[in-house]
């Protein structure tokens, strides 16, 4: 298992501080790796099933193909990190407490989640700390999606069409590396992406059925937008972006870039404090 990099970073900082300041550094006690098996079914009637996944630092993999609403395994070796499950029928919540504690581990930390989602109509919320995440949401019936993370490396992909309209996808991240791929397959109407200082790759290709509204707001970052070549796209840019690279055929008027014609239309609003913006037609 991979060590959790953010905890190692804190460990190094605390070790350096200990050379000059007398401090009592807590210890994160590791033990035998435990495996918790998850298999939960929800019953939300005609309403979307709400699924909430909340984990701390570690590795999180989410894929389609579950025979239950949510199933899979969680492997961990810090006993306080055993995940808790709440199933009230219309809400399935899998959460993990105490992973934000700072300390020196007495061994290599294991915190790996492998989950599969079923065929329910769902509203999906994913909240993590410092993590490596891979979320394949292809073909799942998601009507609302919310993801938030800390210092992370995360890949979210759609390779098959969402059978329902994804009305809103909201993503909040910090100093991270995020890739969103195939959002045209998400049947997406509204995307709101909020980033800090990081590298963000947002791919809107796929099967565009309706107008899509995209809002990207970030600090000092590198943002790449991949846009279908034949899509009617309007990009409005605000802020202190220091460099804009537009690949393909664009009509430029002031802070607005436009390509294609007709409908559906992709409307994109970019708000960046400083950084690089890449517009790529593919």
Q: Is the pLDDT of residue 12 over 70?
A: no
Between 20-24, 138-142, 178-182, 268-272, the lowest mean confidence (pLDDT) is in 20-24
Q: Is the pLDDT of residue 26 over 70?
A: no
Q: Give the number of domains in the chain.
A: 1
Cβ of 167: how many Cβ atoms within 10 Å? 14
Query: CA torsion 42→47→49→52, rounded to 10°?
Result: -140
Between 24-28, 33-37, 235-239, the lowest mean confidence (pLDDT) is in 24-28
Q: Is the pLDDT of residue 44 over 50?
A: yes
Per-residue model confidence (pLDDT) at position 98? 61
Q: What is the domain extent for residue 162?
A: 5-28+35-281
Q: Is the pLDDT of residue 151 over 80?
A: yes
- 99: pLDDT confidence band, cut at 50, 70 and 90? low
Q: Is the pLDDT of residue 208 over 50?
A: yes
What does the pLDDT average to over 2-17?
44
- 2: pLDDT confidence band, cut at 50, 70 and 90? very low
Greater confidence, 129 or 87? 87
Peptide bond into 249 cis (omega under 30): no
Q: Which residue has the tokens 């007398």?
A: 22
C-alpha 236: how far from chain center: 24
Per-residue model confidence (pLDDT) at position 79? 87
* SS3 per residue for the chain: CCCCHHHHHHHHHHHHHHHHCCCCCCEECCCCCEEEEEEECCCCCCCCEEEEEECCCEEEEEEECCCCCEEEEEEECCHHHCCEEEECCCEEEEECCCCCCCCEECCCCCEEEEEEECCCCEEEEEECCCEEEEEECCCCCEEEEEEECCCCEEEEECCCCCCCCECEEEEECCCCEEEEECHHHHCECEEEEECCCCEEEEECCCCCCCCEEEEEEEEEEEEEEEECCCCEEEEEEEECCCEEEEECCCEEECCEEEECCCCCEEEEEEEEEEEEEEEEEC
- 274: pLDDT confidence band, cut at 50, 70 and 90? confident
Domain CATH code at residue 17: 2.160.20
What's this model's pTM, rounded to 2 decimal places?
0.88
Per-residue model confidence (pLDDT) at position 84? 96
Per-residue model confidence (pLDDT) at position 155? 98
Per-residue model confidence (pLDDT) at position 13? 44
- 23: pLDDT confidence band, cut at 50, 70 and 90? low
Greater confidence, 240 or 268? 268
Per-residue model confidence (pLDDT) at position 5? 45
Q: Is the pLDDT of residue 269 over 70?
A: yes
Please compute Rg for the chain using Cα positions: 21
């Amino acid at each position: 298992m991979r060590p959790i990099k953010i905890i190692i970073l804190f460990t190094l900082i605390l070790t350096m501080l200990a050379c000059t300041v007398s401090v009592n550094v807590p210890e994160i006690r590791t033990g035998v790796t435990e495996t918790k098996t998850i298999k939960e079914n929800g019953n939300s009637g005609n309403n979307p099933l709400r699924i909430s996944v909340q984990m701390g630092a570690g590795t999180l993999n989410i894929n389609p193909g579950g025979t239950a609403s949510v199933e899979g395994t969680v492997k961990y070796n810090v006993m306080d990190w055993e995940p808790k499950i709440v199933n009230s029928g219309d809400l399935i919540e899998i959460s993990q407490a105490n992973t934000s504690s700072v300390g020196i581990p007495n061994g290599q930390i294991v915190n790996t989640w492998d989950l599969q989602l079923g065929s329910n109509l769902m509203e999906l919320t994913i909240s993590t700390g410092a993590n490596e995440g891979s979320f394949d949401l292809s073909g799942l019936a998601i009507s609302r999606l919310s993801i938030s993370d800390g210092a992370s490396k995360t890949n979210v992909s759609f390779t098959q069409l969402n059978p329902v309209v994804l009305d809103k996808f909201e993503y909040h991240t910090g100093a991270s590396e995020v890739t969103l791929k195939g959002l045209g397959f998400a049947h997406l109407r509204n995307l709101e992406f909020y980033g800090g200082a990081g590298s963000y790759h947002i791919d809107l290709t796929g099967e565009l059925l309706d107008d899509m509204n995209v809002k990207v707001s970030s600090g000092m970052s590198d943002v790449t937008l991949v846009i279908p070549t034949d899509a009617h796209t309007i990009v409005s840019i605000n802020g202190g972006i220091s460099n804009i690279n537009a690949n393909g055929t664009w009509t430029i008027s002031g802070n607005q870039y436009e390509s294609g014609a007709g409908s559906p239309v992709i409307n994109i609003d970019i708000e960046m404090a400083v950084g690089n913006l890449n517009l790529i037609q593919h």
